[in-house]
């Protein structure tokens, strides 16, 4: 059932709260209720933090309240980290206190057969229009204001910087490790929401929130089971037109569906039905975590106007593998224009191969790369440029990074970089990623993501995203 308009209007109280109470705040360093208070204080959250636990008067040097009712002033967001059976009574107190919203982190509800507890919580939330996320989840993370209920230590699970990609995830584990990796790769995020059992607010409600969120430009969905598929489908169809939705659906096979059921207490249902719905909504489906990362990288690019791919390389074999992938994914190797060929002949040594892939060979300098990229940018027959660069060759130097960043910021055409190697190459790739250049470790994963991006570009002809400037 959809949450009330009243409730939906106030979801931002959870993601942009001016004050947070942590119920179940603890002095024991390994407890969830300790890690969260510590993360809020040691992170840079600027609002008020109220630890709540009847057992303590002080906690981490702060006054500890015995109940949310004892807290002076308003509470925008209450994070509850106490065992499931205690939560209905705490929710009653939250209602009395008229708090802005609630995050329930603890498990022990539908997924272990305690539907009674879930029903009690839902009733209180709905009666009092309290937007409530969870239970059985990691809650939220907002890098813009450092609201953070992820109870994994910061040194173990990195928090990404601000960006334009938002996450809605049913599994806290999958969601959190993905943002951990995303941050490591230099991908910034807007909002992270782990919603667990979806007892009150569900995926559709949260999608509606992100659709209106000004910081969010790309939406990532990790789904296991959906309660109201039709509602989600309608919302996805609408939102995907203005903000691309990338979805990873788990619980696809029989064993996976049964695992999903015991995970969040929801029935996954037929994967075929989900696939049909995704196709109908024209949302982009990733089939694996790696593919999701690949799509995140490429969906920040300017829209592709067609499927004619131009490949440039200083490592012959890498170009051959890339053009193979282009053909195997149903894209086309661009034919080069007469003018492009004439211009390239002037700058390329006799033993370079003018064609597509354009093999600049291992002698290629950064200057030659720069010229070749410019020729491909100007050639009307090339829709997308893939640059397969060996940073390892003797004449390459650090200026190649600048050339590639300029090509990505040029915006005349979408580009992607493919590069394989060890420590030296990885350091270059990290810089590129942090500057918003989509960078891949394999031709095939690059081309597969590009194909899906081109499909989306084609489906959404009205698709006009602003040049992104929000990475890293």
Contact 43, 154 (CB under 8 A): yes
465 upstream amide cis, omega within 30 of 0: no
**Minimum separation from the CB atom of position 90 to a second copy (A):** 19
Contact 311, 357 (CB under 8 A): yes
**Minimum separation from the CB atom of position 182 to a second copy (A):** 8
**Minimum separation from the CB atom of position 384 to a second copy (A):** 15
**Minimum separation from the CB atom of position 129 to a second copy (A):** 30
Cα–Cα distance between 253 and 272 in angstroms, integer? Answer: 10
Task: Select the residue interacting with a second copy from 312, 318, 382, 415 (CB under 8 A).
Answer: 318
Task: Select the residue interacting with a second copy from 35, 207, 366, 449 (CB under 8 A).
Answer: 35
Backbone φ and ψ of 366, nearest 5° = -60, -40
Cα–Cα distance between 92 and 308 in angstroms, integer? Answer: 60
Beta carbon nearer to a second copy, 131 or 196: 196
Task: Select the residue interacting with a second copy from 12, 145, 392, 434 (CB under 8 A).
Answer: 392
Instruction: Describe the crossing of helices 399-410 and 366-378 by its angle, rounded to 10 degrees.
Output: 10
Contact stretch for a second copy (CB under 8 A) within 86-94, 103-111, 203-211, 339-347: 103-111
Task: Select the residue interacting with a second copy from 50, 141, 209, 222 (CB under 8 A).
Answer: 222
**Minimum separation from the CB atom of position 173 to a second copy (A):** 3
* Residues that contact a second copy, how many (by CB under 8 A): 94
**Minimum separation from the CB atom of position 39 to a second copy (A):** 12
**Minimum separation from the CB atom of position 95 to a second copy (A):** 27
**278: Cβ contacts below 8 Å, ≥ 6 apart:** 236, 247, 249, 285
Beta carbon nearer to a second copy, 420 or 437: 420
The two structure tokens encoding residue 375: 């020729």
**Alpha-carbon dihedral angle through residues 37, 42, 47, 51, given to the nearest 10 degrees:** 20
Q: Could you say whether residue 422 binds a second copy (CB under 8 A)?
A: yes
**Minimum separation from the CB atom of position 353 to a second copy (A):** 4
Q: Could you say whether residue 28 binds a second copy (CB under 8 A)?
A: no
Q: Could you say whether residue 443 binds a second copy (CB under 8 A)?
A: yes
How many degrees, rounded to 5, is the angle at CA 430 between CA 428 and CA 436?
110
The DSSP string of 112-155 is GT-HHHHHHHHHHHHHTT--EE-SSS-EEEETTTTEE---S-TT
**Minimum separation from the CB atom of position 1 to a second copy (A):** 25
Backbone φ and ψ of 407, nearest 5° = -65, -40
Task: Select the residue interacting with a second copy from 188, 300, 310, 319 (CB under 8 A).
Answer: 319
Instruction: Could you list the beta-strand ranges (E) of 381-451.
Output: 384-388, 415-418, 439-440
Beta carbon nearer to a second copy, 212 or 328: 328
List binders of a second copy among 40-69 (CB under 8 A). Answer: none
Beta carbon nearer to a second copy, 158 or 302: 158
The two structure tokens encoding residue 271: 């994967």
Contact 265, 197 (CB under 8 A): yes
Task: Select the residue interacting with a second copy from 4, 270, 275, 288 (CB under 8 A).
Answer: 288
Backbone φ and ψ of 219, nearest 5° = -115, 125
Beta carbon nearer to a second copy, 241 or 252: 252
Beta carbon nearer to a second copy, 53 or 314: 314
**153: Cβ contacts below 8 Å, ≥ 6 apart:** 35
x-marked contacts with a second copy along 170-199 as a string, rule CB under 8 A: xxxxxxxxx-xx-xx---------------
x-marked contacts with a second copy along 354-373 as a string, rule CB under 8 A: -xxx-x-xx-----------
**Minimum separation from the CB atom of position 67 to a second copy (A):** 26
Beta carbon nearer to a second copy, 302 or 337: 337
List binders of a second copy among 329-348 (CB under 8 A). Answer: 333
Q: Is 451 helix (H, G, I), strand (E, B) or coil?
A: helix
Instruction: Please state, as a whole number, how many other Cβ atoms lie within 10 Å of the Cβ of residue 264.
Output: 25
Burial class (CB in 10 A: 0-12, 13-18, 19+), 91: buried
Beta carbon nearer to a second copy, 351 or 469: 351
Beta carbon nearer to a second copy, 316 or 472: 316
Contact 36, 151 (CB under 8 A): yes
Q: Could you say whether residue 107 binds a second copy (CB under 8 A)?
A: yes
Contact 139, 15 (CB under 8 A): no
List binders of a second copy among 142-171 (CB under 8 A). Answer: 151-153, 155-158, 169-171
Contact 172, 107 (CB under 8 A): no
Beta carbon nearer to a second copy, 69 or 254: 254
**Minimum separation from the CB atom of position 11 to a second copy (A):** 23
Instruction: Describe the crossing of helices 423-434 and 399-410 by its angle, rounded to 10 degrees.
Output: 30
Q: Could you say whether residue 253 binds a second copy (CB under 8 A)?
A: yes
Beta carbon nearer to a second copy, 347 or 354: 354
Q: Could you say whether residue 252 binds a second copy (CB under 8 A)?
A: yes
DSSP state, residue 201: S
């Amino acid at each position: 059932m959809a949450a009330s308009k009243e409730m939906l209007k106030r979801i931002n109280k959870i993601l942009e709260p001016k004050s947070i109470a942590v119920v179940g705040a603890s002095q024991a360093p390994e407890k969830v209720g300790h890690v969260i208070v510590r993360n809020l204080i040691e992170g840079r959250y600027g609002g008020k933090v109220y630890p709540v636990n009847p057992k303590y008067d002080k906690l981490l040097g702060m006054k500890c309240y015995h109940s949310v009712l004892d807290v002076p002033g308003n509470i925008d967001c209450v994070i509850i980290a106490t065992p499931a059976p205690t939560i209905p009574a705490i929710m009653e107190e939250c209602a009395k206190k008229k708090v802005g919203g609630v995050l329930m982190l603890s498990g022990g509800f539908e997924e272990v057969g305690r539907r009674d507890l879930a029903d009690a919580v839902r009733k209180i939330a709905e009666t009092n229009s309290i937007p409530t996320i969870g239970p059985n989840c990691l809650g939220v993370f907002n890098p813009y204001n450092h609201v953070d209920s992820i109870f994994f230590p910061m040194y173990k699970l990195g928090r990404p910087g601000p960006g334009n990609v938002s996450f809605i995830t049913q599994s806290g584990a999958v969601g959190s490790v993905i943002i951990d990796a995303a941050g490591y790769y230099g991908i910034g995020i807007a909002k992270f929401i782990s919603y667990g059992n979806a007892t009150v607010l569900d995926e559709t409600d949260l999608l509606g929130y992100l659709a209106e969120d000004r910081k969010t430009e790309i939406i990532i969905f990790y789904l296991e089971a959906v309660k109201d598929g039709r509602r989600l489908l309608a919302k996805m169809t609408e939102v995907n037109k203005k903000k691309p939705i990338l979805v990873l659906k788990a619980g696809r096979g029989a064993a996976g569906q049964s695992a999903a059921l015991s995970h969040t207490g929801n029935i996954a249902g037929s994967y075929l039905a989900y696939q049909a719905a995704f196709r109908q909504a024209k949302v982009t489906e990733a089939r694996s975590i790696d593919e999701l990362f690949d799509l995140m990288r490429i969906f920040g690019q300017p829209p592709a106007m067609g499927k004619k791919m131009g490949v440039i390389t200083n490592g012959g074999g890498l170009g051959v593998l890339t053009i193979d992938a282009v053909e195997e994914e149903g894209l086309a190797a661009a034919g080069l224009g007469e003018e492009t060929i004439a211009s390239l002949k002037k700058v390329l040594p006799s033993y370079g191969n003018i064609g597509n892939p354009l093999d600049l060979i291992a002698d290629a300098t950064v200057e030659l790369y720069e010229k070749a990229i410019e020729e491909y940018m100007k050639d009307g027959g090339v829709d997308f440029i893939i640059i397969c660069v060996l940073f390892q060759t003797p004449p390459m130097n650090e200026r190649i990074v600048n050339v590639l960043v300029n090509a990505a910021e040029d915006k005349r055409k979408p580009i992607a970089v493919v590069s394989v190697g060890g420590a030296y190459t990885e350091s270059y790739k990290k810089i590129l990623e942090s500057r918003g250049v989509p960078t891949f470790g394999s031709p095939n994963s690059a081309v597969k993501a590009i194909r899906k991006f081109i499909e989306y570009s084609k489906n959404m002809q009205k698709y006009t995203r602003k040049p992104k400037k929000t990475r890293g």
